[in-house]
Amino acid sequence: MKNLIITAVAALLTTTAAFAHDYKVGGITVMHPKAFETAKTANVGGGYMTIENTSKTADKLIAVRVAEIPRTELHLSETDANGVARMIKQDGVSIPAGETVMFKPGGLHVMFMGLGGDPFEVGEKIEATLVFETAGELDIVFNVEARGADDHSGMKHTGEMKTD
């Protein structure tokens, strides 16, 4: 009977952790990493998440590695004075001490590049490793979700054009 209770508690904890979809390393917490489904012909997809730094030391996200995708970059979407939107490659993204940084459509995002012919599908999981300057490496999973109204995949993508 005792074993049965322990099993039930373990199952409950596992379920809760999976639902929360958060990841921690040092003072860094990464919340709800997600990506949107992409069209069959899309060559790029965006990754979004919230990163909180509860430590007293500034940190910096310097790379995102994904084994199955040719290249992954950190991008910032900006709209200039003429209303033209473009994406600018970032060498790293600072996560100041005690602050929370949001990666979201129209702003900072992870750019998965070179998808060619292998689109993201709803329910798919993208295993990735985030590399922080101070906290080190953190394995996370981006859940692929249905495309939102605020998706930016139709935007002009200068980073992609430069590198192709």
Footprint on this chain of Cu ion (rule: CB under 5 A): 75, 87, 111
How far apart CA 99 and CA 6 sit, in angstroms, is: 37
Rounded-to-5 percentages of helix, strand, coil across the chain: 15, 45, 40
Q: What's the min distance (Å) between Cβ of 110 and Cu ion?
A: 8
Cβ(48)–Cβ(34) below 8 Å: yes
CB 109 to Cu ion: min, Å: 6
* Whole-angstrom distance, CA of residue 33 vs CA of residue 104: 10
Nearest-approach distance from CB 87 to Cu ion, in angstroms: 4
Nearer to Cu ion, 76 or 131 (CB): 76
Nearer to Cu ion (CB atom), residue 85 or residue 131? 85
Q: In the complex, what is the shortest distance from the CB of residue 41 to Cu ion, in angstroms, rounded to a whole number?
A: 17
Report which residue's Cβ sits closest to Cu ion. 75
Nearer to Cu ion, 27 or 112 (CB): 112
How far apart are CB 159 and Cu ion at their closest, in Å?
6
Between 61 and 135, CB nearer to Cu ion: 61
- Rounded to whole angstroms, the Cα distance separating 147 from 145 reads 6
Spatial separation of the C-alpha atoms in residues 74 and 60, rounded to whole Å = 12
CA neighbor of 95 nearest in space, from 139, 141, 131: 131
- Is 111 or 140 the residue whose CB approaches Cu ion more closely? 111
